[in-house]
Amino acid sequence: MSEHPLPTPMGLAAELIERAQAVAVARRLSEVSQAGDVGSALITEAGNIYTGVSLDCACGIGFCAEHSAVAAMVTHGEHRIAAIVAVTEDGRVIPPCGRCRELVSQVHKANTATHIVLGEHETVPLGDLLPRPWKRRT
């Protein structure tokens, strides 16, 4: 059972989708790297919004847009995520991959309650998508 999600103000999902769409602009960085095929936006418990883009490089190097947004958030000293979304360059909302689900759950224990935005009027708590997160065993 997941923790209760933080309240999401009306329109928050739409705003996050718009912010993610604004950065989801694919561009080639070099012969072997590309960025921006996917954009992400998240809002923290404190109400700050961070965005990020995907990075794809040769040899399997790179990361998802959600990783980039989480890194921006952590850089600014926050780690409790109220809601997060990822969109493709054509504006389509996509759910986070398994690695991103784990990442969000590991940066703050209460993030199992993070709203995963699946559309302007649809969110699901991360705990519902990740019912058995990896836990370090000591």
Least separation in angstroms between residue 99's CB and Zn ion is 5
Nearest Cα to Cα of residue 26 among 51, 54, 50, 52? 54
Task: Give yes or no for a contact between 39 and 66, defined as CB atoms under 8 angstroms apart.
Answer: no
Copy the structure tokens of residue 13. 């999902």
Q: What are phi and psi of 5, to 5 degrees?
A: -65, 155
Question: How many residues belong to the chain?
Answer: 138
Does position 53 interact with Zn ion (CB under 5 A)? The reply is no
Place of tokens 């909302």: 93
Q: Which lies closer to Zn ion via its Cβ, residue 106 or residue 121?
A: 106
Q: Which lies closer to Zn ion via its Cβ, residue 28 or residue 99?
A: 99
* CB-closest chain residue to Zn ion: 64
Residues between 71 and 130 with contacts to Zn ion, criterion CB under 5 A: 97, 99-100
Least separation in angstroms between residue 10's CB and Zn ion is 28
Angstrom distance (rounded) from CA 13 to CA 2: 20
Considering only 35, 41, 64, 83, the residue that binds Zn ion (CB under 5 A) is 64
Q: Which lies closer to Zn ion via its Cβ, residue 20 or residue 64?
A: 64
The contact set with Zn ion (CB under 5 A) reads: 64, 97, 99-100
